[in-house]
A and B are shown apart, each in its own frame.
Chain A
Amino acid sequence: AQSVAQPEDQVNVAEGNPLTVKCTYSVSGNPYLFWYVQYPNRGLQFLLKYITGDNLVKGSYGFEAEFNKSQTSFHLKKPSALVSDSALYFCAVRVNTGGFKTIFGAGTRLFVKA
């Protein structure tokens, strides 16, 4: 089955430290991968995506993600975390099951402590 996994329910980092939010995927065919962020009481916002090309993808708010085909991973990273980055982060994959749809991971809650 095609799926995406986020192995950590929660990630805690100190402000100014680098952060990583992990994501692995399982798809047939080419992977089309996305990261979204959900701030409290808000809808999801698109951060970045990997379609093809350079394995390091840069997105909004200083976030980037590294696509690793051999490890089937697409980890979200930021060199220096901000308290305002505290939110719920979702990894997602676009799949074709008789029509294209997006499957979301379980989400990882990021806490950045001042």
Chain B
Amino acid sequence: SAVISQKPSRDICQRGTSLTIQCQVDSQVTMMFWYRQQPGQSLTLIATANQGSEATYESGFVIDKFPISRPNLTFSTLTVSNMSPEDSSIYLCSVLTSGGPITGELFFGEGSRLTVL
């Protein structure tokens, strides 16, 4: 298992600004992911945060809008840039621990609830 801390837990932001969300894990993990959960909807994978290299983005998500850093095996940040009300969501950091990429279960942080006015 893993303990994942996300900051901030919630924030209210103005349109056009940017916000950086931090994710700290209590142990070294190889695979780390960022998900978005829009109000009343399921989770959508934004990107895989790769340590020491550029993140791998899913279709519909781009680096200019959601830049990600992964400086080491316990920490990552997701920035939501030039925010609009459509970016209002819960952003979840997730890691894969035991079991490997095929069968391992995901562990999640408690999420960062972002409201854009």
Mark A residues whose CB is within 8 Å of B: 32, 34, 36, 41-46, 49, 51, 90, 94, 96, 99-107
Among B85-117, those with CB < 8 Å from A are 92, 94, 101-103, 105-111
Taking a contact as CB atoms under 8 Å apart, the answer to whether A102 and B109 are in contact is: no
Q: Contacting chain A: which of B12-20, B41-49, B71-79?
A: B41-49
**8 closest A-B pairs (Cβ-Cβ)?**
A43-B108, A100-B101, A46-B105, A43-B110, A44-B108, A104-B43, A51-B103, A106-B42
CB distance from A52 to the nearest CB of B (A): 9
Residues of B within 8 A of A49 (CB): 103, 105
B4 at the interface (CB under 8 A from A): yes
Q: How many residues of B contact A (CB 8 A)?
A: 22
Interface centre among B92, B94, B103, B111 (most CB of A within 10 A): B103
Taking a contact as CB atoms under 8 Å apart, the answer to whether A94 and B56 are in contact is: no
Which listed residue (B42, B56, B105, B110) contacts A90, Cβ 8 A? B42
Taking a contact as CB atoms under 8 Å apart, the answer to whether B102 and A44 are in contact is: no
Residues of A within 8 A of B43 (CB): 44, 90, 104
Residues of B within 8 A of A41 (CB): 110
Taking a contact as CB atoms under 8 Å apart, the answer to whether A46 and B106 are in contact is: yes
Taking a contact as CB atoms under 8 Å apart, the answer to whether A102 and B102 are in contact is: no
30 contacts between A and B (CB under 8 A): A32-B103, A34-B106, A36-B106, A36-B108, A42-B111, A43-B4, A43-B92, A43-B108, A43-B109, A43-B110, A44-B43, A44-B92, A44-B106, A44-B108, A46-B105, A46-B106, A49-B103, A90-B43, A99-B48, A99-B56, A100-B101, A100-B102, A101-B33, A101-B45, A101-B58, A102-B45, A104-B44, A105-B42, A106-B42, A107-B42
The answer to whether residues A32 and B102 also contact, given A43-B108, A44-B108 and a CB cut-off of 8 A, is: yes
Known: A41-B110, A43-B108, A44-B108. 17 other contacts (CB 8 A): A36-B106, A36-B108, A42-B110, A42-B111, A43-B109, A44-B43, A44-B106, A51-B103, A94-B103, A96-B102, A100-B101, A100-B102, A101-B33, A101-B45, A102-B106, A104-B43, A106-B42
